[in-house]
Structure 1
Amino acid sequence: MSGAQPESEIRDVDWYGEDLSGREHTAVRFAAVDLTEATGEGVVFTDCVFVDCRFTAATFTDAAFLNCSFTGCSFSQARFTACKVVGSRFSRCTFDLLDVDGGDWSFVLMPGADLSRVTVAGTRMREADLTGARAAGATLRGLDLSAAELSGIDLRGADLRGSDLSALDPRDAELAGARIDVTQAVELVTTLGLVVAPDPPD
Structure 2
Amino acid sequence: MKNNYPNFIFNETYTQQDFSITKLSVKEYDTCVFVNCDFTETDMSLVIFLECTFIDCNFTKVILKETCFRDDSVFEGCKMIGVYFDQCDTFLLSITFRNCILNYASFHGFKIKNTQFMECKLQDADFTNADISGVTFDQCDLNNAVFQNTIASKTDFRSAKNYKIDPTKNILKKAKFSHDGLIGLVDAFDIIVS
TM > 0.5 fold call:
yes
Alignment partners' CA distance in 2, 1:190 and 1:111: 22
For 2:109, the aligned partner's letter is G
Match of 1:79 in 2: 74
Question: 2:68, 2:88 within 8 Å by CA — same for their partners in 1?
Answer: no
Larger Rg belongs to: 1
CA shift digits 1:121-150 (9 cap, x unpaired): 110111112211101111122221212222
Alignment of 1:117-128 (within 5 A): 117-128=114-125
Post-superposition shift, 1:155? 0.7
Post-superposition shift, 1:32? 6.5
Aligned partner (choices 140, 143, 148) of residue 146 of structure 1: 143
Where do 5+ consecutive residues of structure 2 fail to align? Answer: 1-5
Point out 4+ residue stretches in structure 1 off by more than 3 angstroms. 27-32, 193-197
Report the more deviating stretch, 14-23 or 43-52. Answer: 14-23
Number of equivalences: 186
SS in 2 for 1:187: helix
Question: 2:8, 2:27 within 8 Å by CA — same for their partners in 1?
Answer: yes
**Correspondence 1:63 to 2:57:** yes
Post-superposition shift, 1:92? 3.9
Alignment partners' CA distance in 1, 2:24 and 2:84: 15
Question: 1:141, 1:160 within 8 Å by CA — same for their partners in 2?
Answer: yes
Provide the alpha-carbon RMSD of the alignment.
2.2
Alignment partners' CA distance in 1, 2:121 and 2:81: 10
Alpha carbons of 1:30 and 1:129: their partners in 2 closer, same or farther (altered >3 Å)? Answer: farther
Please report the TM-score for the alignment, with normalisation by the length of structure 1: 0.82
Where do 5+ consecutive residues of structure 1 fail to align? Answer: 1-11, 198-202
CA shift digits 1:169-199 (9 cap, x unpaired): 22211111001101111331243244557xx
Please report the TM-score for the alignment, with normalisation by the length of structure 2: 0.86
SS in 2 for 1:25: coil
SS in 1 for 2:34: strand
Match of 1:112 in 2: 109
Match of 2:11 in 1: 17
Q: Which has the higher strand share?
A: 1
Post-superposition shift, 1:40? 1.0
